[in-house]
Structure 1
């Protein structure tokens, strides 16, 4: 076998082991991808929304870790706007060997008011996952002649590993007011087995995050239900999964229709030690369409060598602000609307 395939096989073995041992994909645009963090976010910000995300991580490696995710949610109009449904579909791909992981998750959330200004959303989710490793795109030394000419199929055995199927369960809650929120979630409560040859459970993932939006200016626009704002939003987050943990602090500045942000992330694991990453975020809104882009910059040596990450999000969303104001004036038992750092990214 040539050196290239050996390195590819080693890379996929490491990635497969990492997937089996602990690490879910994380997004730098966390609030644009909030359903991946906590099922209680379903239907909480908009009447409905759909977000398509793409993340290309470690681009300096041969065969970077790429993730495509589609998230959608819908707040049911009856009874009482308390119920919401969500769906999350993702595809991860890594390495030239062809490691892939597919996931599909159904979510449900219930929103209720605790006081006139404080509300709670509780959510649960059930997901299906499938991961596999394929060797079809590898070439070996016996497929080439001495002058480098391709000669045909290899005699190497390419049986590989059988696919792994699993089910995962998660729950979460979001305590929120109109300008502030606190999110707590637990994923993989059943610790599903992701091992290819031996049993390897996916550890429980616990996450806590929160933020506060400070309005510097907020005024009604010329259009129906339009609101123009200038705001500053600091955020904090902490995630622990297995022996690894991630803490982060961010700040976002919104001046309709543009959002700019920066995020510092501290990653700690037994295998890689402590890594430091800074992500810069930019977003713009065109009516109900939101476009966001972020780039991770590795501050630590290893994180820098791996090449950071690119991330793009496209969001289509709708929220009836006029109806929301009417509900508040009538003092009905509906939760207040929540505004996030990602409202325009």
Structure 2
């Protein structure tokens, strides 16, 4: 089997092994989710408590399933809003496995947010996050070029030096969101303390990640339909999510629509006008979303169609599944609390 008539499967395996090895020594990049607004506590700590009720989110991403270097990321989060103090609290647990269990990481994060009403139509939320992270590497799964000959893999011991198997660190992040009943715009800054994540003891600091996000919701429901309830909404919402970390940056740009219970969306990921090297555009994927919502339950599935040169490797794209449940409260006579007009599949 060949890729581009030159790259055999054996050579591809060597390249992947080298890539994973050097990844242990350089500054890694954060995980990115296609359904970024569905996994809101990962997107911005200011979203903690944004549903103004108790919310539980389960999220999983499977990236490049046809390659040995596939990534499997699972997260679980729960958050709640406290009306008297206008504060939100959130807890998020994230587990990431890279390269067929070669490298894995576990993160436990706590978020706090505070809501400030600026005017009758404008509000602001500020949030902070503390994270304990632990990374693990299994060197026995790695294969290096000095273990190969013209006859293939020899199985002999490599001369490459190994470091520690585990490394742990504490991480600090902040975020803020400005919003009305039609639009929202926010920024989040992760890894403000640039923690050292090296397995070798040398400095390999996790670079600061800055994210800008926003959107505007168009209500397409009949204006005279006063009997309409939340599950009968018809809306169209363009959104963007720009991420910059170290030398890398990407833009998610697209829109999603809600028609009663059905949700459909499409995004483009990349910056086509930017070239990292000659002939190498910043194109990553096209993301398609389908979902269903009924009362407090949200279900979403998305698939990433790879459009970069990585598609030559037949990666299998990426799959994401999101399950969100918002616990309802008994109706009250007093004025309802203002809510962030974020995508309704959150």
The alignment's TM-score, normalised by the length of structure 2, stands at: 0.82
| Alignment check: 8 A CA contact 1:180 1:210 kept | yes
Shift of 1:121: 0.3
The reply to whether residue 188 of structure 1 matches residue 181 of structure 2 is no
1:321 and 1:238 mapped to 2: Cα distance?
38
Indicate which of 321, 324, 345 corresponds to 1:315: 324
Name stretches of at least 5 consecutive residues in structure 2 with no aligned partner: 1-9, 145-154
The reply to whether residue 300 of structure 1 matches residue 303 of structure 2 is no
2:36 and 2:233 mapped to 1: Cα distance?
21
Shift of 1:276: 3.1
The reply to whether residue 72 of structure 1 matches residue 74 of structure 2 is no
Shift of 1:201: 0.5
| Alignment check: 8 A CA contact 1:53 1:70 kept | yes
2:312 and 2:120 mapped to 1: Cα distance?
48
- Tell me the residue number matched to 1:60: 66
| Counterparts in 2 of 1:122 and 1:321: CA distance versus 1, 3 Å | farther
Deviation track 1:43-86 (CA, whole Å, cap 9, x = no partner) reads 1134121111110112231141110011211001433xx11100
| Counterparts in 2 of 1:5 and 1:43: CA distance versus 1, 3 Å | same
Deviation track 1:202-237 (CA, whole Å, cap 9, x = no partner) reads 111111110011111165668xx7552000000122
Shift of 1:110: 0.2
- In angstroms, what is the RMSD of aligned CA positions? 2.8
- Tell me the residue number matched to 1:344: 345
| Counterparts in 2 of 1:139 and 1:83: CA distance versus 1, 3 Å | same
The reply to whether residue 125 of structure 1 matches residue 132 of structure 2 is no
- Tell me the residue number matched to 1:41: 47
| Alignment check: 8 A CA contact 2:231 2:261 kept | no
| Alignment check: 8 A CA contact 2:14 2:143 kept | no
- Tell me the residue number matched to 2:287: 279
Indicate which of 247, 251, 258 corresponds to 1:254: 258
2:67 and 2:232 mapped to 1: Cα distance?
43
